[in-house]
Structure 1
């Protein structure tokens, strides 16, 4: 297990979970849980549903940790994808409910600063820096697709842009992100 005073290596923690190391899953949750909850919350806009999605994601990490391949990407990205997919699965199961923003119904709006808080909570501020360096259209497309879980067609409709243009923006943005993070 890594030194608790040093920044933990996420890939190493995932390998420890895969190896059945005692406490590894708990440590991974302590290190990444807030970020993963933020991803689910950004998609679902409901704290209870986000907590359910996080629970599902942690169970998937526990059972699929052996499938993680550090050569294919960073551990934090792998975990984020699992949390995102768990939230999207839950959203589909709920029929894509849309909060009314009426506090009397228990619905609350997602604060515009939610993405900023999520980025600030990440231990890898590099992603935030690289996203900020992207052109607005590339960044917006990536955030709508990967944080909010919208399809390319939904993004095109929301931005009132042709589908091919939106796909190109997202692809170029992802290529620039990859180059920046490398």
Structure 2
């Protein structure tokens, strides 16, 4: 979904339109999930945070001002701020050595680690098949949470060119991973 299509959805959500909220969730959740995983470190915590972020979107959509910026930028800012709040809350807890010892060992088993290493190696090899600027753009968009506009500015290309780079790059990565 084009980024500019999020603005009318967000404005409709401000008017309590449930269908618009579902469409907004479908369009924005993957990117916000990427930002949250990157910041929080675990998928389970990111999933919880994503649910809370969309609750905030429902409650605060009326605060969005399209004149001040893009809808995706507003959504990413909400997600980042929420992740920062969660990270700060972690530091407020008292660490107790006995409590820490009582926690189960959640480290992945050797087989799981080897499988993950193999997948990571495959992803790295697939990234190596892309042109360096395309690979950097994909990393920026999906790992660092940068907007299309930020990436277009960083790589000094038009916005639509950046969208094409990302779409084609993802298709090439998918094809490579499926081999």
CA distance in 2, matches of 1:118, 1:102: 28
The equivalent residue for 1:50 is 46
Q: Per the alignment, do residues 47 and 61 of structure 1 end up closer, same or farther by CA in structure 2, a change over 3 Å counting?
A: same
Q: Which one of 51, 63, 73 corresponds to residue 69 of structure 2?
A: 73
Q: Per the alignment, do residues 61 and 118 of structure 1 end up closer, same or farther by CA in structure 2, a change over 3 Å counting?
A: farther
Q: Per the alignment, do residues 45 and 116 of structure 1 end up closer, same or farther by CA in structure 2, a change over 3 Å counting?
A: farther
Query: TM-score, with normalisation over the residues of structure 2?
Result: 0.57
Contact 2:34 2:142 in 1 (8 A): no
Contact 1:119 1:128 in 2 (8 A): yes
Structure 1 unmatched runs, 5+: 1-5, 134-182
Query: TM-score, with normalisation over the residues of structure 1?
Result: 0.56
Q: Which has the larger radius of gyration?
A: 2
- 2:138 is aligned with 1:116: yes
CA distance in 2, matches of 1:90, 1:120: 21
Contact 1:18 1:66 in 2 (8 A): yes
The equivalent residue for 1:34 is 30
How many pairs align?
A: 123
1:132: how far off?
3.9
Aligned-residue RMSD, C-alpha: 3.7
1:90-137: per-residue Cα shift (whole Å, max 9, x none)? 11222399xxx9534x9999x798983561598x6332222345xxxx
- 2:126 is aligned with 1:130: no
CA distance in 2, matches of 1:96, 1:9: 39
Structure 2 unmatched runs, 5+: 94-105, 128-135, 157-179
More helix by share: 2
CA distance in 1, matches of 2:30, 2:48: 13
Structure 1 residues 1-182: aligned runs within 5 Å: 7=2, 9-95=5-91, 102-104=107-109, 116-117=138-139, 119=141, 125-133=148-156
State the secondary structure of the residue aligned to 2:151: helix
Q: Which has the higher contact order (CA 8 A, sep 6+)?
A: 2
1:122-172: per-residue Cα shift (whole Å, max 9, x none)? 8x6332222345xxxxxxxxxxxxxxxxxxxxxxxxxxxxxxxxxxxxxxx
Contact 1:38 1:118 in 2 (8 A): no
Write out the 4+ residue segments of structure 1 that deviate beyond 4 Å after TM superposition.
106-109, 111-115
